Amino acid sequence: MNRRQYLAVSTAALSGLAGCLGEPEYTISSVETGDDSHPLALDVTAVDRNIAIESPGQLDITLRNTGTQDVIIKNTGVWPLGVLGLDSGGESVSADILLLADEYAEADTVEVRPNGASKDNAPLTGTLAAAESIQRQYEIDGRRVSSAGAYTLQGYFDEVPLSYRTGQNADWVAYHPSVTVTLTEQSMLP
């Protein structure tokens, strides 16, 4: 075996085996927010697109009141966005990926376990004043991602993360965010 053959064999072996071991890492390749007609709007920004073993990806999620009236928001878990998840559209009861937030640890209404989560169903209510916004940071832990693909942002336990109304006597309206987060698997080779 000459040097050139040695290099060829080594490279082929490296290429063939690379990625066989170790767990996949992902990249938040895109975040698309759709228009909706609610007085509420969500802005989602990928602050850290790299979902790596040593560090999770991070999304900044801002809930804005785009209307001219105060909006009363009701949900469960933590106010105002609740326990969020990313769902691929499968038939599982909960969303596929649990999004993690520091608020879960501070609240006694949410318990996050290594392989799941639970929450208190007691409703939490608060008011988001007209033209105001609230920002929360959520993390995507790669351990909780089973495959790459396009995911829809929704509540982790219930599809609807929150309900709202614009007056004390108005009916509650379910809020369906229209956000698609696409995750792609990182290649082990440069």
Partner 1 sequence: MALPRWFPVARKEATTLLKSKGTWILAPLLVVWGYGPTYISWDTLGPDVTVGFVQVAGSLLLPLCVLLLTYRSIIQERTSGSLKFLLGLPLTRTEILIGKVFGRSVGAVVPFAVSTVVLGVIGGFKFGLFSPLRFIGVFLVTVLYIAVLVSVATAASAVTTSTVRVTAVVFGGFFLLLTLGWKIVGVRLYSAVTGNPVNPLDPPADGLLFAILRLSPGRAYRTVTNWILGLANSGGQYTSVATVLYPGHSVNEYVVDAAFSGQPVPAYLHESIALVVLLLWGVVPLALASYRFNRGDLA
Q: Give the footprint of partner 1 on residues 123-142 (CB under 8 A).
A: 141-142
Among 37, 68, 92, 115, binds partner 1 (CB under 8 A): 115
- Does 190 engage in binding with partner 1 (CB under 8 A)? no
Residue whose CB is less far from partner 1, 126 or 143: 143
- Select from 13-21, 72-80, 123-131, 156-164 the region that touches partner 1 (CB under 8 A): 13-21
Q: Can you tell me the distance from the alpha carbon of 59 to that of 162, in angstroms, rounded to the nearest whole number?
A: 18
* Range list of H helices, the chain: 3-17, 102-106
- If we measure between CA atoms, which residue out of 99, 170, 79, 83 comes closest to residue 141? 99
Count, in order, helices (H) and strands (E) of the chain.
2, 15
Q: Give the footprint of partner 1 on residues 19-38 (CB under 8 A).
A: 21-23
Q: Can you tell me the distance from the alpha carbon of 8 to that of 114, in angstroms, rounded to the nearest whole number?
A: 43
List the beta bridge partners of residue 139.
58, 100
Residue whose CB is less far from partner 1, 14 or 170: 14
DSSP-derived secondary structure letter, 77: S
* Three-class DSSP category at 143: helix
Among 8, 30, 45, 53, binds partner 1 (CB under 8 A): 53
Kindly state the smallest distance separating residue 180's Cβ from partner 1, in Å. Answer: 24
* Three-class DSSP category at 138: strand
Among 92, 113, 122, 169, binds partner 1 (CB under 8 A): 113
Residue whose CB is less far from partner 1, 23 or 35: 23
Kindly state the smallest distance separating residue 30's Cβ from partner 1, in Å. Answer: 23
The label of the residue with tokens 């440069």 reads 190
- Does 18 engage in binding with partner 1 (CB under 8 A)? yes
